[in-house]
Structure 1
Amino acid sequence: MALLLPLLALSLLFAVATPIRDITYACSSEVKDFQHLNSSGLHLALHHPQSPCSPAPLPTDLPFSAVLTHDDARIGSLAARLAKTPSARPTSLDENRAATPAADSLASVPLNPGTSVGVGNYVTRLGLGTPATSYVMVVDTGSSLTWLQCSPCLVSCHRQAGPLFNPKASSSYASVSCSTTQCSDLSSATLNPAACSSSNVCIYQASYGDSSFSVGYLSKDTVSFGSNSMPNFYYGCGQDNEGLFGRSAGLIGLARNKMSLLYQLAPSLGYSFSYCLPTSSTSGYLSIGSYNPGQYSYTPMVSSSLDDSLYFIQLTGITVAGKSLSVSSSAYSSLPTIIDSGTVITRLPTSVYSALSKALASAMKGTPRASAFSILDTCFQGQASRLRVPAVNMAFAGGAVLKLAARNLFVDVDSATTCLAFAPARSAAIIGNTQQQTFSVVYDVKNSKIGFAAGGCS
């Protein structure tokens, strides 16, 4: 088969299309309210993976053990990524469905793992092309390249909500040649080398630690936000997409890399973004552009030679019922700390986790204990919303503090058991999305700081 003709690009128009799945009238209204571009930046609705308002919700009967399995895969992928360990699984894009030299050489390239994008990721809707079309996309601060599934899907496409993106339907679509700067930039954006088709079209390879991957053509198109549009947005038009992406069309990358959505929009909107990760019963948002700096307490972004695209910060202390944990201050810095939108369970240095578990068990001594659940070993009988829990604060360098409510401390693993939403770390500590839920979190990349503010979701 000859190289795919004009492949339409990723739709960052999250607002102008009809809902892709059945959504209530109230949910549809909330989506419209958030999807707009104005002088204060781009504002998009953000959905919890299990929200009934999500345009691509997870199955309602998905056991929490599956969430933990996917979450552990994401942690493993981050560990491999920081260690710069290649994946054992190569991928290829055989555009001619025949054994050509180009295909053979591409198939022999090992892929480095990115961050696993499993069931813990939040989704929004976005659109692209002329005319614009809307798609359900995973939002990931641990990834750089934005991509979505494209027809004719030469090799494999996972099931998604709504139709595949059709490049032939966009009058503004263009493929990107192998000689461009953007093709060269793929190696830093995906941690894998770019390849070149026999038709001189740049091929990207985005891989994830749970063996999920997307391979396809680097493309550009007009991205639209309501009545506003921006031309020449670079993204991946996926032709071989396999793995744990739910029913999303693809992924939006928000990492610190020139190929990410953030950096491509930054010349117009600024180098900052903020979000509020909602619970399954609240409404959240993703905003790119200006924000109100006065409402946040800040912690500096920390530079790390391990990976310059991830967001590192420094955890300095945890208190339970006003008392500091019984560990040295150096225990908190024994591992690098990443803040991540797609990890569900926060990972702490082992000594810090053990001290937190012990302090909480002591403070909740009258609450009946329950058996460990998978990787979660501090569990209680009942539901998080009905427990009397002590005040727990997480402090960061610079004075930023997260004051955790019960919903940020515990996760209900079944109808009768709730567990502490923390676990021991591997090669890095990670501030996960359970602890971030309902806080407004701003990533001010220009000023190298991250801010937290309570009460961000509605």
Structure 2
Amino acid sequence: MREGKMLAMVLVVLGLSLSSSASDSQQQKWWKWMFSGGTSSEVNPVGSSVVFPLSGNVYPNGFYYVQLNIGQPPKPYFLDPDTGSDLTWLQCDAPCVHCTPAPHPLYKPNKDLVICKDPLCASLHPGDHKCDNPEQCDYEVEYADGGSSIGVLVKDVLLLNLTSGIRLSPRLSLGCGYDQTPSASYHPIDGVLGLGKGKSSIISQLRDQRLVRHVVGHCLSGRGGGFLFFGDDVYDSSHVIWTPMSRDHSKRYSPGSAELIFGGKSTGFKNLCVVFDSGSTYTYLNSESYQALLSWMNKELSGKPLTEALDDDTLPFCLKGKKPFKRIRDVKKYFKPIALSFPNGWRAKSQFDIPPESYLIISSKGNVCLGILNGTQVGLPNFNVVGDISMQDKIVIYDNEKQVIGWTPANCDRPPKSDTIIM
């Protein structure tokens, strides 16, 4: 489900309960704001963010995951945070027709179903959708890597600890997935955390309930782990490189067209449609750009103590040295940096730098492998996907309030604590 997972359909519903841990004055502030006709442009009344630690890595795990506590009483589930899709779903005992091995027992659904006529169900079923059962909203999501989930939408409580110290228990809509098809790159998780722009995504639902601003971001550590956040008060905006989200690809986190830079020089490849997708382990270029990149790399590596490792099938292009490599720093001197330059940034140009450590891995055989793949071969002919490998050691921000995407180098090893800012 990880590699190239981008396209999905979704749905959602609202509900709220402030936990008893919030003070009376905070509750009064909430109700005063709520009945004063607050608009969507106002800062959320809580004025805080949610930060989640991440686990996992690009290699050898092949994915990052976050723990969410869902239900009453809350139970832990490991979810794949995916900015390339909207719907959040859990493998569900409804009963389950087809479920894959997972870290936790299957989610037990409650009887609080989302009805078919709910507007959020309509967002999951574009066009003239007819209800087979008006008392429930059925869904089916398919991912670009072949994975899928079929189920029904339910409403349940998500436990959230804000950086301000307030605890919230909003009631949100999520999928109860009772029929899953694993992808070729299957990973043992309990479900998917959809972080896309659609109405059914968790961040959109929290925004509609005025709990956090419509901003999501992540910081993936190259050493494993990192953190995910909702809201906009955990980073200093002045240190971030910003570029507008593309209006031509409004359903995806796309900064639009980019120019491919290799070794600090233009390659001549321009107008590459780029999508940022945390649900993709690796980065993908269209076939023409990918083949050109391989050609440039082979030219640069000529005369270097590296030969193609044809017996290593970890990734399509691997190289071996005179002795096995232990870490990227042993070999990165042989490779040049890559970058994607976006001409419509808030500055003259916004450049997304991809140093060798953000596109190479060391395989279990001690070879160095290229973590940039041929997107055309996996059904992505029109998109160039920036995946987890190239977003390591950066804070990447998707600001749906301002319709911009931003990034800046960061130490992703420690999640920010209350009242702290990532510089």
TM-score by length of 2: 0.72
Alignment of 1:193-232 (within 5 A): 195-197=131-133, 200-226=135-161, 228-232=167-171
Amino acid at match of 1:299: T
Structure 1 residues 389 and 295, CA gap change in structure 2 (3 angstroms) = farther
- Which residue is 2:56 aligned to? 48
- Please, which of 270, 282, 295 is the counterpart of residue 358 of structure 1? 295
**Mapping of 1:14-163 within 5 angstroms?**
39-49=47-57, 58=61, 120-163=62-105
- Give, in angstroms, the shift of residue 193 of structure 1: 5.8
Give distance in 2, aligned partners of 1:364 and 1:256.
Answer: 41
Tell me by how many angstroms 1:289 deviates: 0.2
Contact kept, 8 Å, 2:281 with 2:387, in 1: the verdict is: yes
Deviations 1:75-134 (A, max 9, x none): xxxxxxxxxxxxxxxxxxxxxxxxxxxxxxxxxxxxxxxxxxxxx432100022222111
Deviation string 1:201-255 (CA, Å, 9 cap, x unpaired) is: 2211122344432222211122111462243301111222231452211111011
SS at structure 2 position matched to 1:360: helix
Distance in 2 (CA, whole Å) between partners of 1:240 and 1:352 is: 37
Corresponding residue of 1:15: none
CA RMSD of the aligned region, Å? 2.8
Alignment-mate amino acid for residue 189 of structure 2: S
> In 2, distance between residues paired with 1:395 and 1:246?
29
Q: Deviations over 1:339-381 (max 9, x none)?
A: 1112233222444334433333343432322235556336343
Specify whether residues 193 and 123 from structure 1 end up closer, same or farther in structure 2 by C-alpha distance, changes over 3 A only: farther
How far off is 1:43 after superposition? 0.3
Pick which of 404-413 and 140-149 moved more. 404-413
Aligned to 2:284: 347
2:388 matched residue in structure 1: 433
Partners of 2:255 and 2:405 within 8 A in 1: no
SS of equivalent residue, structure 1 residue 353: helix
Question: In 2, Cα distance between the equivalents of 1:438 and 1:192?
Answer: 44
Shift of residue 393 of structure 1?
A: 3.9
Q: Distance in 1 between matches of 2:371 and 2:129?
A: 37
Q: Which residue is equivalent to 1:242? A: 181
Q: State the shift of 1:194 in Å.
A: 7.5
Tell me the equivalent position of 2:419: none
Match of 2:40 in 1: none
Distance 2:145 2:283 in 1: 18
**Aligned mates of 2:307, 2:81 — CA distance in 1:** 36
User: Within the alignment, does 1:297 sit opposite 2:238 as a pair?
Assistant: no
For residue 334 of structure 2, what is the amino acid of its counterpart? V
Q: 1:453 to 1:136 in 2, by over 3 A?
A: same
1:147 deviation in Å?
A: 0.7
Which residue does 1:90 correspond to in 2?
none
In the alignment, structure 2 segments of 5+ residues that lack a partner are 1-13, 15-45, 414-423
Name the structure, 1 or 2, with higher relative contact order (CA <8 Å, separation 6+): 2
Q: Which residue in 2 is equivalent to 1:179?
A: 117
Residue equivalent to 2:211: 268
Cα–Cα, structure 1 residues 294 and 223, in superposed 2: closer, same or farther, change >3 Å?
A: same
Question: Which string of whole-angstrom CA distances, capped at 9 and with x for unpartnered residues, describes residues 281-323 of structure 1?
Answer: 3330000101421221122211225x62453433223131x3x
What SS does structure 2 have at the residue aligned with 1:139? strand
In the alignment, is the contact (CA less than 8 A) between 1:121 and 1:139 conserved in 2?
Answer: no
Q: How many residues get paired?
A: 341
C-alpha deviation, 1:445, in angstroms: 1.6
Cα separation, 1, equivalents of 2:178 and 2:385: 32
Q: Deviations over 1:394-446 (max 9, x none)?
A: 13212333333332131223423212222333212111211111111111122
Q: How far apart, CA to CA, are the structure 1 residues paired with 2:174 and 2:215? A: 20
Contact preservation (8 Å) 2:57, 2:224: no
Structure-1 separation of matches of 2:48 and 2:289: 40
In the alignment, is residue 256 of structure 1 matched against residue 256 of structure 2?
A: no
1:370 to 296, 305, 308: 308
Which residue is equivalent to 2:260? 317
Secondary structure of the residue aligned to 2:140 is strand
Partner of 2:363: 413
Indicate how the Cα distance of structure 1 residues 352 and 185 shifts in structure 2: closer, same or farther if over 3 A, else same: closer
2: distance between equivalents of 1:349 and 1:192? Answer: 34
CA contact (8 A) 2:58 2:389 kept: no
State the identity %: 23
Three-state SS of the structure 2 residue aligned to 1:336 is: strand
User: Secondary structure at the residue paired with 2:149?
Assistant: strand
Name the CA distance, whole Å, in 2 between partners of 1:310 and 1:403.
Answer: 18
Unaligned runs of 5+ in 1: 1-8, 10-37, 52-56, 59-119
TM-score (norm 1): 0.67
* Contact 2:197 2:252 (8 Å CA) reproduced: yes
CA contact (8 A) 2:55 2:66 kept: yes
Cα 1:377–1:136 shift into 2, 3 Å = closer
* Structure 1 residue runs of 4 or more that deviate by more than 4 Å after TM superposition: 191-195, 372-375
Q: Quick check: which one's helix share is greater?
A: 1
Given that 1:391 and 1:404 are in contact with CA atoms closer than 8 Å, whether structure 2 keeps it comes out as: no
- In structure 2, distance between residues paired with 1:359 and 1:378: 15
The 10-residue stretch of structure 1 (442-451 or 201-210) with the greater mean CA deviation from structure 2: 201-210
